[in-house]
Amino acid sequence: MSGHLGRAMSFGIPDLALGLVLNYVDDPWDRDAISLVCRHWNRFDAQSRKHVTIAMAYSTTPARLLRRFPCLESLKLKAKPRAAMFNLIPEDWGGSATPWIRELSASFSCLKVLHLRRMIVSDDDIAVLVRAKAHMLVSLKLDRCSGFSTLSLALIARSCKKLDTLLLEESTIAEKENDEWLRELATSNSVLETLNFFLTDIYASPEYLALLVRNCRRLKILKISECSMPQLIDLFRTTETLQEFAGGSFEDYLDQGGQSGNYNNYYFPPSIQRLSFNYMGTNEMQILFPYCAALKKLDLTFTFLTTEDHCQLVQRCPNLEVLEVRDVIGDRGLEVVAQTCKKLQRLRVERGDDDQGGLEDEHGRVTHVGLRAVAEGCPDLQYWAVHVSDITNAALEAIGTYSKNLNDFRLVLLDRQPQITEMPLDNGVRALLSGCTKLQRFAFYVRPGALSDVGLSYVGELSKTIRYMLLGNVGSSDDGLLAFARGCPSLQKLELRSCCFSERAIALAALQLKSLRYLWVQGYLASPTGGELMAMVRPFWNIEFIAAPSQSQPGQAQILAYYSLAGARTDLPPSVIPLHPSV
Amino acid sequence: MAASARQGERATSFAMACNLLSQFVRKNGAAAVDLGLGINKVEAEAKTTLPGAEEAGRKETMELFPQSAGLGAVQDAAAPDATREQEKQQLTIFYGGKVLVFNDFPADKAKGLMQLASKGNPVVQNGSAPAAVADTTKVQAAVPVLESSLPAAQADAPKPARANTSDMPIARKASLHRFLEKRKDRLHAKAPYQASPSDASPVKKEPENQAWLGLGPNAALKPNHGL
């Protein structure tokens, strides 16, 4: 790469030396700094930058990407707002990958790795991509995408012989010709290391899955849609390299009678480190017991386990680094986690069923008790997302005291209990933010009264390094938002939901936040015309308004604003109104 | 926009060094890039180490690896070569139910204010804190930008005096939603007339089979309430 820049020197350093040094520099912030030193270094960085993530596809254009980084090897693109994963974004909002794939296929001669997240990708798009890049493509991730069918998967399977990673997690894929694509993959590819179609609805037969595992001797990660687990027993015996498995499906013991009672038949290779089973119940749980001591990741989010089951299982897993559960784990389960999982780095406690009719275990609630236990017991935690039913300041203070390695913390206070033990949580939040100095991502979704305007100003003051924030039901007036906006010097992406702020305050806050480049708001004091939002009009700042689905739900309208060098979108659907620049 | 983003983030020492370099280029022009930087032959004879290069005169050389590099404020690290101007930041004071905000408050005055405040006994009502406020207004002569009273209802069970937009239910992740729906379907398919899950027949206990798993007779195989 550096060869064709000749024998030039800069700052007394020959290009050759510079190239050797910069090869070790991967961090995007450092690369950014390099590119701003002088034109020469800018060109150098441009030609040697291997990977780029474009967090908002509409913030730039494919042509600009090509001009800036013509030698790119790996690209990650995201389009739809994160709220799309919560079914809050209209179907026709946008996010088509077509213009990107067209340019990537025509140029970018070094591209080997492509990751599209929350985008619309058509069969035609994939055909264009495959035609141009099949000989080079090493990794393709269509993550939470839609618009394509299994015919494209078959095409990819047939044509991309070097593909070691195919990820389709949670994408919506039209099914055509059953699981022919899987047979094609199994017979055409022998270098596959990752196949992930977890949380999709496409069919995969046990026969073709077994064929794949037999033929792809390097397979490390296999995450599938629902396939009956008893029929997969043999598959696990034929692999020596498998490290991660997720998906499958356990049938009900009542239906299967004796057949699925043979839990002794289950076997996983010694290489297995990460497991997740759908609909696993109390009886099936025992198949994990022989492997628990070696497990590094356990995902119980989609199981039917009770609180007691969680306790039984987790207490056998001292080496867990990642644990994902629903709040049925309860405070009791979290106490077991705290006692047992000393190496835990990532913990996610999702929201279970609200139905009090007995679907979830009656002990299945997480409160300040569980939070405190985990904070004290798991000092290595870096990522922690938790849905709680009750909370106190002391629990948040404990997190600030003990969870020093946290870089991503997300708390949602559920609506289950009418009374919360202690509100407001101003002091707890202050202690948490003061103590967790490495925090870069923070979500605090609570209820009115849980964080006052003062508390919100604390958040502003103490979020020196936070880059992403989601706030829900915080503050009690515009003053809170304005105080908040005077802080947060690093905040790049802000999501606000269900708050009481006026349009004008939101606009002023957007102008105040120094680093803000992306803003999403749903639930605010809207004016009839949206006119107050115009207070934040400025160059390169796109402001879009997503209308409420109906007149009777005016609170559901959304504001989306982001910096863009591409001007107004040209593919706006009727439900999205451009406020600036207006089309 | 890009520059302001850099201001706030915690820069690595490498990024700070690049920052210094780019400032140098801006000050001395593009030609400085080609001329080299303090490592010309004349200097090399006299000095051998990088710290020694400092003495050659700040005009031609610069400290690429500031000793203060670390996780401190970016402004501090940039200070050695940057201007000698005072650092001005916003000062917010919460006191007695009032919030006072001063823009562009000089850093050294803020330091003095904080020292004054910490010296006083925090319990004493008429301690140093009010005096500090008075000092501030005397020295600064700046008008507070924002004065607002804190909500009095802090201590009570809060009845938020805010116009709530709408009762927005907390949105559920699509994948969780699908799972919970499927679970309901399975339950209804299995036993549509079941009054409550506890009516489900208990699991058959197989203590013989489990002995080899080391679970013993106390293995928790209670009737499956959760399903």
Q: What is the pLDDT of residues A440-499, one digit of tens each?
A: 999 999 999 999 999 999 999 999 999 999 999 999 999 999 999 999 999 999 999 999
- How close is the nearest chain B Cα to the Cα of A520, in Å? 15
pLDDT tens-digit series, residues A315-359: 999 999 999 999 999 999 999 999 999 999 999 999 998 865 556
- How close is the nearest chain B Cα to the Cα of A240, in Å? 23
How is residue B215 written in tokens? 């679970």
pLDDT band at B79; cut points 50, 70, 90? very low
C-alpha dist (Å) from residue A410 to A333, A354, B63: 19, 20, 41
How is residue A582 written in tokens? 């207006």
Q: Given B8, B10, B164, which is nearest A514 (Cβ)?
A: B8
- How close is the nearest chain A Cα to the Cα of B128, in Å? 23
Based on C-alpha coordinates, what's the Rg of chain A? 25
Does the beta carbon of A479 lie under 8 angstroms from any beta carbon of chain B? yes
Q: What pLDDT sits at residue A561?
A: 97
- How close is the nearest chain A Cα to the Cα of B135, in Å? 23
Q: What pLDDT sits at residue B35?
A: 61
pLDDT at A108 > cutoff 70: yes
Check if the beta carbon of residue A452 is closer than 8 Å to that of residue A423: no
The answer to whether the Cβ–Cβ distance between A30 and B154 falls below 8 Å is no
Q: Which residue has the tokens 């203060």?
A: B68
Check if the beta carbon of residue A537 is closer than 8 Å to that of residue A563: no
Name, of A154-168, A519-533, B40-54, the range with top average pLDDT: A154-168
Mean pLDDT rounded to a whole number for chain A: 92
Check if the beta carbon of residue A438 is closer than 8 Å to that of residue B150: no
Q: Which amino acid is at B158?
A: P
The answer to whether the Cβ–Cβ distance between B7 and A514 falls below 8 Å is yes
Check if the beta carbon of residue A244 is closer than 8 Å to that of residue A223: yes
pLDDT at B38 > cutoff 60: no
- Which backbone phi and psi does A56 adopt, to 5 degrees? -140, 105
Q: What pLDDT sits at residue A322?
A: 98
Would you give the distance in Å from CA A105 to the centre of its chain?
26
pLDDT at B80 > cutoff 60: no
The arithmetic mean of pLDDT across residues A159-181, rounded, is: 96
Interface of A with B in 338-357 (CB under 8 A): 350-353, 357
Dist CA A210 CA A404 (whole Å): 44
**Helix residue ranges per DSSP H, A72-231:** 98-106, 123-133, 150-159, 180-188, 206-215
Dist CA B131 CA A289 (whole Å): 66
Does the beta carbon of A30 lie under 8 angstroms from any beta carbon of chain B? yes
Dist CA A165 CA A260 (whole Å): 32
pLDDT tens-digit series, residues B125-158: 343 333 333 333 343 333 333 333 333 333 333 3
Dist CA A59 CA A574 (whole Å): 20
C-alpha dist (Å) from residue A111 to A114, A135, A144, A309, A424: 8, 11, 21, 47, 51
Q: Which residues of A touch B201 (CB under 8 A)?
A: 254
The answer to whether the Cβ–Cβ distance between B226 and A30 falls below 8 Å is no
- How close is the nearest chain A Cα to the Cα of B155, in Å? 8
- Which backbone phi and psi does A261 adopt, to 5 degrees? -80, -10
Q: Which residue has the higher pLDDT, A533 or A321?
A: A321
Interface of A with B in 157-196 (CB under 8 A): 170
Instruction: Report the range of poorest mean pLDDT among A210-214, A433-437, A549-553.
Output: A549-553
Burial label, A572 (beta-carbon count in 10 A; 0-12, 13-18, 19+): middle
Q: Which residues of A touch B77 (CB under 8 A)?
A: none
**What phi-psi label fits residue A86: left (phi over 0), alpha (psi between -120 and 50 degrees) or beta?**
alpha
Check if the beta carbon of residue A387 is closer than 8 Å to that of residue A412: yes
- How close is the nearest chain B Cα to the Cα of A86, in Å? 4
Instruction: Report the range of poorest mean pLDDT among A81-85, A157-161, A464-468, B110-114.
Output: B110-114
ipTM: 0.91
A91 Cβ contact list (under 8 Å, min separation 6): none
Strands A518-522 and A558-563: antiparallel
Strands A165-167 and A194-196: parallel
The answer to whether the Cβ–Cβ distance between B158 and A452 falls below 8 Å is yes
Does the beta carbon of A32 lie under 8 angstroms from any beta carbon of chain B? yes
Dist CA A82 CA B173 (whole Å): 10
Check if the beta carbon of residue A463 is closer than 8 Å to that of residue A487: yes
pLDDT at B206 > cutoff 50: no
3-state secondary structure A4-52: HHCCCEECCEEHHHHHHHHCCCCCHHHHHHHHCCCHHHHHHHHHHCCEE
Q: Check residue B134 and report its DSSP letter.
A: H
C-alpha dist (Å) from residue B210 to A236, B205, B206, B213: 22, 9, 7, 5
How is residue A381 written in tokens? 């935690």
The arithmetic mean of pLDDT across residues A541-557, rounded, is: 79
The arithmetic mean of pLDDT across residues A373-400, rounded, is: 98
The answer to whether the Cβ–Cβ distance between A486 and B221 falls below 8 Å is no
Dist CA A86 CA A83 (whole Å): 5
pLDDT at B57 > cutoff 50: no
Taking the CA atoms of residue B167, residue B172, residue B174 and residue B177 in that order, the dihedral angle to the nearest 10 degrees is: -110
The answer to whether the Cβ–Cβ distance between B99 and A449 falls below 8 Å is no
The answer to whether the Cβ–Cβ distance between B176 and A351 falls below 8 Å is yes
Percent of chain A with pLDDT over 90: 80
CB contact burial B85-108 (16+ within 10 A = b; e otherwise): eeeeeebbbeeeeebbbbeebbee
Q: Which residue has the tokens 């398919």?
A: B189
The pTM (predicted TM-score) of the whole model is 0.78
Q: Which amino acid is at B18?
A: C
Q: Given A264, A301, A423, which is nearest B209 (Cβ)?
A: A264
Task: Give the max Cα distance, chain A.
Answer: 78
Does the beta carbon of A283 lie under 8 angstroms from any beta carbon of chain B? yes
Q: Which residues pair with A232 in a beta bridge?
A: none
Does the beta carbon of A304 lie under 8 angstroms from any beta carbon of chain B? yes
Instruction: Report the range of poorest mean pLDDT among A156-165, A552-561, B4-13.
Output: B4-13
Dist CA B227 CA B221 (whole Å): 13
The arithmetic mean of pLDDT across residues A234-238, rounded, is: 94
The answer to whether the Cβ–Cβ distance between A36 and B159 falls below 8 Å is no
Q: What pLDDT sits at residue A251?
A: 80
- Which backbone phi and psi does A54 adopt, to 5 degrees? -105, 105
The answer to whether the Cβ–Cβ distance between A301 and B179 falls below 8 Å is yes
Does the beta carbon of A289 lie under 8 angstroms from any beta carbon of chain B? yes
Q: Check residue A527 and report its DSSP letter.
A: -
Q: Which amino acid is at B105?
A: F
B196 Cβ contact list (under 8 Å, min separation 6): A357, A358
Strand, coil or helix: B198: helix
Q: Is it true that the peptide bond before B223 is cis, omega within 30 degrees of 0?
A: no
A62 Cβ contact list (under 8 Å, min separation 6): A99, A100, A102, A103, A104
How is residue A44 written in tokens? 């150098």
Q: Which residue has the higher pLDDT, A574 or B88?
A: A574
Strands A322-326 and A297-299: parallel
